[in-house]
A and B are shown apart, each in its own frame.
Chain A
Amino acid sequence: MTDSTTFPSTYPAAGVGIATRGMSLEEPLLFESSRPGAVGYSLPKADVPDCDPASVLPDEFLREDIPNFPELSEPEVVRHFTRMSTWNAAVDLGLYPLGSCTMKYNPKVNERVARLSGFANTHPLQAQELSQGLLGSMMDLSEYLAEVAGFDHVTLQPAAGAQGELAGVMMIRAYHEARGEQRTKILIPDTAHGTNPASAALNGYDTISIPTGDDGILHPEAIEPLMGPDVAGLMITNPNTLGLFEENLVEIAKIVHNQGGLIYGDGANLNALMGIARPGDLGIDVMHFNLHKTFTTPHGGGGPGSGPVGIKAHLEPFLPKPVLRTHEDGGVFLDNDRPQSIGRLHGNLGNVGMMTRALTYIRFMGPDGLKRSTEMAVLNANYVAARLKDRFVLATGDRPVMHECVFSDEHLEGTDVTTMDVAKRLIDYGYHPPTTYFPLIVHGALMIEPTESESRESLDCFIAALLAIDDEARRDPGLLHKAPHNTRLTRLDETRAARKPILRWSPGSGE
């Protein structure tokens, strides 16, 4: 299946942009290679008498064994996971243009800082006087984030963007309730991330979908008739998920504010705005950041993230607790005396290990560097849009895009090729596919966010790959339907996985 005949004839010169299989090794599940008696651990010598739990606890409280738990030596474990790592696409391997996810380069110095013993090996409940280096660093980070996005305060506690969003909507609810108002609805544009309605629902709000204009942005006329005294606010992403700047945001914010509502900003796309414009200056009252998107903390295969939330002063009483505060003597402490707080969201103080990484990044970049990052991210997205727009159909017409660009599947009309096929075929060229089928309002959407980390050469190869695939779609559509061809596994049967879910290994279930 993977012989060279399935390679495209139109690939860029010298094989650039083609995924070739190096030595990709098979690796069974841990449980299948386990051998009774194999040892991968070493324990310190017991310096206290061994105590039999059965002498203290009744037998029925105790476990006898952990049947089938793996037993492997250290080299076997290391090989197992190292082999598995080679089956992943990753930013350090190549362009990862996943729209709305900002897969930019993760600087190595971040990792070094986060692992310093004075940061990593500290306990959240140790005396605050013994933690001033960390608390001070966290205070600095919260102030830097507030400055970047134009807010009065930032809480670092939410563990991810979605939890930040939850916190933000909770603060909106607490704000209205403190004013004695029971508002029941929240407005959400039809381009929004799915987390927006989910977060609103967790707060008991009914969501009202706002149609995006034909030009891809929101218009005051769409908001005005829906905004009323029963509406808590509007959740908005800027730039929106079509990659467009919401030009009418200031006017829209006025409409919402005039009726007593608040504006929630989804900060997923902040990478388009650093040093250019600040969400807090545009009328947004509360916004979450994604440190793993904008501020280069690693995505980690799906986490951990970190989702700080910036707010304007009128929401300050409602911040999740504890709140970081500065003493007169310059020391930083945790304030739990917050009667109007929405409460605690995290068992401790949030994902501190991500905060030290983000702080490192901001200190490395400085104000000019952050702005330059944004400019280069926007340049790269516009470059991709410009190079592809004659062959692919931009969902946003001639409007200038910000940090990402979205194409519809209109150019595939007349073929039986889908966006999914194009995305999967990109893998054969060595690329992680862009985000597909989102936003929902674009038919067969292909959403490309190149980020500032890519060179022109890298983008040119990617563009060449997309153009080559577009040729293939017409010449040899079958090639695309079954792509990828050159990976260790071919397309996986997701229907089978969902119909009869197998979510764990069981003895005797192996191949």
Chain B
Amino acid sequence: MADYTIPDDLRYSEDDEWTRTDGDIVEIGVTDYAQDQLGDIVFVELPEVGASFEQGAPFGVIESVKAVSDLYAPVSGTITQVNDSLVDNPEQVNEDCYQSGWIVKIQCSNSAELGELLDAATYSSSVTDRTS
């Protein structure tokens, strides 16, 4: 089993996304485990800035050559920024999923939902469950 990087300072969703919170702005990307499962990312479909999503609603799509996965909003809110550089360089998700491979920033409309996110240890054991 491969070792996956799961930074302690981030919070995670059950859909294999990570979040980094700064005030009410939540930065979102996919985890190392997710990018590894998908393989070489070839395309990320980004939402429009200003679009709003309920928690759990699909806000975008991420594709590799032979797989496709919806991206789900880990918290409800409005998109404030998208990572446009993924349009031309989707491989950033593979190469640096926690930094330059970030996908969107959402202004969270329900801070209670932040508390529902998993900490690194919990997420790590969920990955272990699925890979063993």
Chain A contacts to B: CB under 8 angstroms: 494-495, 498-499
Contact = CB atoms under 8 A, between A and B. Distances in A.
B36 to A, nearest CB: 14
Interface in B31-47: 40, 42-43
Nearest to B40: A495
B2 interface: no
B74 interface: no
B90 interface: yes
14 contacts: A494-B65, A495-B40, A495-B42, A495-B64, A495-B65, A498-B42, A498-B43, A498-B63, A498-B65, A499-B40, A499-B42, A499-B43, A499-B90, A499-B91
Contacts of A494: 65
Contacts of A495: 40, 42, 64-65
Contacts of B42: 495, 498-499
A494 B40 CA distance: 10
Interface residues of B, number: 8
Nearest to B94: A495
Interface in B71-123: 90-91
Interface of A is mostly: helix
B28 to A, nearest CB: 22
Contacts of B90: 499
Contacts of A498: 42-43, 63, 65
A433 to B, nearest CB: 15
Interface string B54-66: 0000000001110
Given A498-B42, A499-B91, 12 more contacts: A494-B65, A495-B40, A495-B42, A495-B64, A495-B65, A498-B43, A498-B63, A498-B65, A499-B40, A499-B42, A499-B43, A499-B90
A443 to B, nearest CB: 14
Contacts of B63: 498
A494 B91 CA distance: 14
A494 B63 CA distance: 13
A69 to B, nearest CB: 31
A492 to B, nearest CB: 11
Contacts of A499: 40, 42-43, 90-91
B118 to A, nearest CB: 27
A495 B93 CA distance: 14
A325 to B, nearest CB: 45
A494 B90 CA distance: 14
Nearest to A499: B42
Contacts of B43: 498-499
B68 to A, nearest CB: 11
A499 B64 CA distance: 9
A458 B57 CA distance: 53
Contacts of B40: 495, 499
Interchain residue pairs A-B with the least CB separation, the first 9: A498-B42, A495-B40, A499-B42, A494-B65, A498-B65, A495-B65, A495-B42, A499-B90, A498-B43
A125 B98 CA distance: 62
A419 to B, nearest CB: 13
A498 B65 CA distance: 7
A29 B91 CA distance: 30
Nearest to A500: B88
A494 B43 CA distance: 13
Nearest to A437: B66
A356 to B, nearest CB: 37
A62 B65 CA distance: 41
